[in-house]
Structure 1
Amino acid sequence: MKTKSIMFLVVLMFSAYAVNAQAGHETDENTWYGLNAGNLTMTGTNNTFIGYASGNQNTSGSSNAFLGAYAGNINTTGHDNAFLGYEAGSFNTTGYSNTFIGGYAGFSNDTGNGNVFIGYYAGYNETTSNKLYIDNSDTATPLIYGEFDNNIVAVNGNLGIGTKVPVRPLHVVGDQAVFRMDRPSNTAAFMLVRTDVSGNPMKTFVVGTNASASNTGEFVINDLGTAVSGGGSRRMTIATDGSVNFPGAVTGASFTPTSSAAFKANIRTYENALETVKKLRGVRFDWKDNGKPSVGLIAEEVDKVIPEVVAHNDKDATGVNYDSLVGVLVEAVKEQQGLIQAQKETVAQQQKTISALSEKVTELERMLIMSNAVSKAD
């Protein structure tokens, strides 16, 4: 029994030697296993080739790990690569620092470097460098795509956070606040949304500083603005002082401006309101943007009379707070009503005087008639 065991071990050792002899030329610090694996390696070191013809044509490439039949098959001088899967990185020759995991992953990449391809056929046709592919097909738009040199990651599908069934490119679900963005500086737009990016890019939604804005920290909705450099027409702006600006009409069921005394100081009655109103000019006009006719006031003219109700940008008066005019108009009406009441009282007093005079005239006429009658009798 002991003799049979020794003979079996001897046969096993010779079998292993025969397999290794077929695996490739032995050099220091290399591990090869499989027919024709690392067959041509002469000076390369620290390689591990496992699988039929894996690293078959490697000559001086070092620090490679190829696992799978034909993995890194024609690699010659490429180094620091990790190929796992049937024919993974099969056509790589001089490319380095690549990681291909999956059957046929990185199959056509011959000289590229710094790539990471994960999945069956992932990056099959990609031949450049510094790319990330995660997919299970040879598509050019993998589920996850990246560019290491440009710090780009793209998801070609719906991304769910807090949900396994996202129905939009980004679908976030959570019981607490589900969205937060922090920016370490204020030198660029915090959020920028554009449309028609393949043709004439239009900046439609901006939060924060943007190239065409005059103030920082703005929230802007644009129409037909091009790219980051701006242009087009602003449709809504929430400025840093909290004011909201619209170039067009604003409609709604009701609007309730804040007016509590709790938010006000130095309260006093507006004086000479009627004289103030008399200085204002109501006008008819057409809006330049859409040609629609309208009526109202001219901000520049109102600014000379009641600057408190006029909105300004860095240079000019831009709008009128018609709500604030109500207070002026109320006091103007009260002043006018006071004048009207005084006139009524004056007219009433004058009417009394006239009535009294009329009675006296009537009495004098009666007395004159009687006097004339007496004279005729005599």
Structure 2
Amino acid sequence: VALVNNTTGNRNTAIGGSALVINDTGALNTAVGVEALFSNNGTNNIALGFRAGSNLTAGNNNIDIGNAGVAAESATIRIGSFQTRTFIAGIRGRTTGFANAVPVLIDSNGQLGTASSSRRFKEGIKPIDQTSEAILALKPVTFHYKSDATNTPQFGLIAEEVAKVNPDLVVRDENGEIYTVRYDAVNAMLLNEFLKEHRKVQEQEARITQLNSTVEKQQATIAQQQKDSQSTAAEQQREIKALAASLKEQAAQIQKVNAQIELQSVPPSTVVNNP
């Protein structure tokens, strides 16, 4: 018998033995399956399957399909309990076309979600600094999955080896076993190392530019000095030539004066006229 204890609850649908059996005031619930929403007294819950949503008590706006749900939770969708694979049509090959699309992640409990990057969701923010240097010890490998009959080549990292380098770069499963690599964190560290190297390159380029400028100035100074030296040498040559000409002229004057002095020092000759 379903809904046997309902009092003020309204617009409920119960199909299956003991479906919504405890509900008395909850409304807008849909329970399909034996003992579906068995303990529920909430509102607007949907349960499909044997004992689906049977753990719900006062929760609202839940959808439980083949899952017993969790007491007092709200606004949660739970599908399946013992399944190990999921196939959903209409996803692969379909581009959303929206600029606000983000990758979907899944945790070890099977909960789907996304990674938020906004500052308003974070605390303890500080630069990565030297921590990212750990990725330089990582060893990328090629491999194929054991379950892949086609042996498709894959490329990546071995999580156990990554854990030895930095345990924060791996994810563990519900049993605490190493499961996969946090490639998003590896990418952030790669970016940090790239930026560090980029800054080094910029500093080196600035230093090279400064050195080139210094060399150019030195070359210009040397060229000017050579030019000044050549100009000075030419001036000195002109001065030497002028001095030589002056000396030559002075020598000629001296020689002329000496000649005149010699003429003046010669005694006059006496001519005797004998008849």
Band the TM-score falls in, shorter-chain normalisation: 0.3 to 0.5
Q: With the length of structure 2 as denominator, give the TM-score of the two structures.
A: 0.45
Question: Which of the pair has more CA radius of gyration?
Answer: 2
Q: With the length of structure 1 as denominator, give the TM-score of the two structures.
A: 0.35
The higher-RCO structure (CA 8 Å, 6+ apart) is 2
Hey, which of these two has a bigger chunk of strand by percent? 1
